[in-house]
Amino acid sequence: MTAFLDVKDLRIHFPTDDGLVRSVDGLTFSLERGKTLGIVGESGSGKSVTSLGILGLHKGGRARMSGEIWLDGEELIGASADHVRRLRGKKMAMIFQDPLSAMHPYYTVGDQIIEAYRIHHDVTKKVARKHAIDMLGRVGIPEPTSRVDDYPHQFSGGMRQRAMIAMALSCDPELLIADEPTTALDVTVQAQILDLMRDLQREFNSALIVITHDLGVVAELSDDILVMYGGKCVEYGAAETVFYDPEHPYTWGLLGSMPRLDRERTERLLPIKGSPPSLINVPPGCAFHPRCPYAERTEGRAETEVPELLKTSPGHLVRCHMAPEERRRLWESEIKPMLETT
């Protein structure tokens, strides 16, 4: 018995003139209907590539994909491009970040929702339009009957994101992927959008993947959290576990750089030094070791040996050379107090 969405050993590689880019390198996770998975990582960690891979948007391109993606009992990697296209938008839909650029500037918001609906439903324009207005109302856009004929640039940022959500939900998808849904928005609007998504997910009972660099966003929304680094999963577990008892130094870094509503963000407590690794020349050993403050505690294995993703407690997987006890001690004694005091 497989889950509603079951991703197994997903690899997405891009051959380039400079070498092979291993954007996603052996990712495994699963998700049930009505549940939410948060995928967290810096830009370039492979999280967006993963979501596009699930949607089949790499098909026909240069990407080399391997592994398995099972959606509702159907394998997608081996399926034909056209078959996946038919599922796209209907069975699985995506909410993109920055709706100003993700929506076509030359078509009205209504037209774009109507288009999305009519691809999968053989209905007249009139019917589709009514549906679009309906959807806009449901995502909380006031006066949807008149706003339906507005262009994206005539909407505010929050409104645009709502419209984007309306578009994604127009065909009642069972899997919804939201890629940085709140990044382009200011803080108060962020909260509204997150609330909206939570409500809608409950209403539609869809499986939701939220992709973000912001742990705060997923903490509120997710059931599970998957932390990605260098195309690999470095920590995966229930949201409260990853949030309250993280064991990977990278997760600590993410937590440290998390913006918080209750406090002004003036400095990052645990800034992650350096920049994300090149996906062509992935550092040998642990991909994170050049940036890891604790790399010297691994008796040199960090530079030579790729750490395994190992179960550290039930439902909690961590990819780190440090011993689990050492990691927990560091978290309890050093990191957690520092995060709490300020």
Partner 1 sequence: MVTYIIRRVIGALAMLLIVSIVTFAIFFLVPRLAGATPEAFAARYVGRGASMDTIRLVAERLGFYDPVAVQYGRFLKGIVAGTEYDTGAGVDHCPAPCFGYSFITQQPVWPNLMDRSRVTLSLGIGAAVLWLVGGVATGVLSALRRGSFFDRSAMGIALAGVSLPIFFTGMISLSIFSYGLGWTAPGGAWVDVTIDPLQWAYNLLLPWITLALLFAATYARLTRAGMLETMGEDYIRTARAKGLVERGVVVKHGLRAALTPIVTVFGLDFGLLMGGAVLTESTFSLNGLGKYAVDAIKNNDLPAVMGVTLLAALFVVVANLVVDLLYAVVDPRVRLA
The nearest distance, CB 101 to partner 1, in angstroms, is 4
Length of the chain: 342
79 forms part of the interface with partner 1 (CB under 8 A):
no
87 forms part of the interface with partner 1 (CB under 8 A):
yes
Cα angle value 326/331/332 (rounded, 5°) = 100
What residues contact 225, with CB distance under 8 A and at least 6 apart? 37, 38, 39, 40, 215, 218, 219, 235, 236, 237, 238, 239, 242, 243
H helices present in 36-122, as ranges: 47-55, 81-87, 99-102, 109-120
d(CA 102, CA 181): 11
Give the alpha-carbon dihedral of 248, 251, 257, 263, to 10 degrees: -100
The nearest distance, CB 22 to partner 1, in angstroms, is 21
The nearest distance, CB 104 to partner 1, in angstroms, is 4
Amino acid at 60: G
Out of 72, 115, 223, 334, name the contact with partner 1 by CB under 8 A: 115
What residues contact 61, with CB distance under 8 A and at least 6 apart? none
Residue 168's H or E segment, with its range, is: helix 157-169
d(CA 32, CA 14): 29
Amino acid at 287: A
Out of 11, 22, 47, 88, name the contact with partner 1 by CB under 8 A: 88
Out of 17, 60, 266, 314, name the contact with partner 1 by CB under 8 A: 60
Out of 1, 17, 105, 281, name the contact with partner 1 by CB under 8 A: 105
122 forms part of the interface with partner 1 (CB under 8 A):
no
The nearest distance, CB 268 to partner 1, in angstroms, is 28
Joined tokens for residue 242: 């990853």
- Choose the stretch contacting partner 1; rule: CB under 8 A; options: 108-116, 270-278, 287-295, 308-316: 108-116
Out of 57, 79, 123, 306, name the contact with partner 1 by CB under 8 A: 57
- Choose the stretch contacting partner 1; rule: CB under 8 A; options: 24-32, 102-110, 221-229, 311-319: 102-110
90 forms part of the interface with partner 1 (CB under 8 A):
yes
Using CB under 8 A, list all residues that contact partner 1: 52, 55, 57, 60, 85-90, 93-94, 96, 98, 101-106, 108, 112, 115-116, 119-120, 151, 153, 167
